[in-house]
Homo-oligomer: A and B are copies of this chain.
Amino acid sequence: MSKTVTIAIDAMGGDHGPYVVVPAALGLLKAHQNVALVLVGDQETLYAELHRRGVDVGERLAVQHASQKVEMHEPPSQALRTKKDSSMRVAIDLVKQGRAQASISAGNTGALMAIARYVLKTLPGIDRPAIMTAMPSMIGHTHVLDLGANVDCTAEHLLQFALMSSVLVSAVDDNEAPTVGLLNIGQEEIKGNNQVKRAARLLANSSLNYVGYVEGDDIFKGSADIVICDGFVGNVALKTTEGVAKLISHFLREEYRRNLFTRLIALASRPVLQAYREKIDPRYYNGASLVGLRGIVVKSHGGADEIAFTNSIRVAIREVEKDIPQRISNRLQSLLVERPAVV
């Protein structure tokens, strides 16, 4: 039997707070016998929510009180300074104290990054943590980072992102040497800005499985297992992806609702549309990893429903089981020993 994995969950974060977190947690506990969860937040609310569902705390389910909550649009520095007893902060503190092996929040991304970085610190050799998620591709999925933690990255930062993510992906996807692509634009000569050109040279000289430049559409073709970019570009790519997917769903729904005949077709098409949705449904891709920290922190989408939030807990469990921060640290150490001058 595998040893118990304990995850601290910010139960007050996101658009729905405990009303999504609690049922997701309960469902997950049933499916994963080796997992224990700590729900962090206002204890009165949390106990009420548990009792309403006829559940009590026990060996694998605990409540940890936190008197504050980080607001969705609160500036990160303010959250860091004034919200020391927030559900987000306390969940990360539990990881720092070794009482949990990972924490999850659907709250304010900027605040989560700031607090996680302040409390847990970055791994030696890593300047900045990055946010990484999987996106669907024709042949499986592609991991993309950074998705918004860092704007104005240097080439060295991009190299660090590639190193960290290669370690993570090789462990969680059982992929010995994941391929790494550097996001760029297609025009010749004016190709790339200086930061990207320099990063390409660093990647080509690294021990990573670097496959060269990729473009935005390569994320979905599966041209590389990992796509590296700065946080500004990555965030635009992520939001664009969400926007296109929603637009397409909107138009499909509109067409299927046009008249009685199209409504009947929609009914008949249900299994097809359902199967299709499961392949690209963002809920099944929910759970972005904050990589580069001395601890595991996963960010759920703020609007996550029960299915989506459950998936983010699974992302955290996988990273705990594979001991990701330690693996990244070991890899960085071995690189520093091999080539002292270069990370």
Binding site for B on A (CB under 8 A): 73-77, 108-110, 136-138, 148-152, 183, 185-190, 192-194, 196, 215-221, 229, 231-233, 235-248, 250-252, 254-256, 258, 262, 265-266, 268-269, 271-273, 275-276, 279-280
Contact = CB atoms under 8 A, between A and B. Distances in A.
A280 B239 contact: no
A110 B190 contact: yes
A137 B241 CA distance: 13
Contact of A151 (B138, B185, B238, B250): B185
Majority SS at the chain A contact face = helix
14 contacts: A109-B186, A148-B190, A150-B190, A185-B232, A216-B236, A217-B239, A233-B233, A240-B244, A245-B248, A251-B276, A251-B280, A256-B272, A258-B272, A262-B272
A288 to B, nearest CB: 12
A243 B248 CA distance: 13
B269 A265 contact: yes
A250 B240 CA distance: 19
Given A187-B110, A190-B110, A232-B193, A280 B240 contact: no
Given A217-B246, A237-B236, A189 B77 contact: yes
Nearest to A195: B152
A143 to B, nearest CB: 15
Contacts of A262: 271-272
Contact of A220 (B244, B265, B276): B244
Contacts of A150: 190
A193 B265 contact: no
A108 B190 CA distance: 12
B243 A216 contact: yes
Q: Which of A74, A187, A196, A238 lies at the interface centre, i.e. has the most chain B CB atoms within 10 A of its CB?
A: A187
A129 B275 CA distance: 45
A231 B250 CA distance: 28
B250 A248 contact: no
Contact of A138 (B229, B233, B250): B250
A127 to B, nearest CB: 15
Nearest to A237: B240
A241 B240 contact: yes
A136 B247 contact: yes
A21 to B, nearest CB: 22
Contacts of A148: 185-187, 190
Nearest to A131: B187
A124 B229 CA distance: 35
Nearest to A268: B265
Contacts of A229: 236
Given A73-B188, A244-B245, A262-B272, 11 more contacts: A148-B187, A215-B236, A216-B239, A219-B240, A220-B240, A233-B233, A236-B236, A240-B240, A251-B276, A252-B276, A255-B276
Contacts of A74: 188
A251 B279 contact: yes
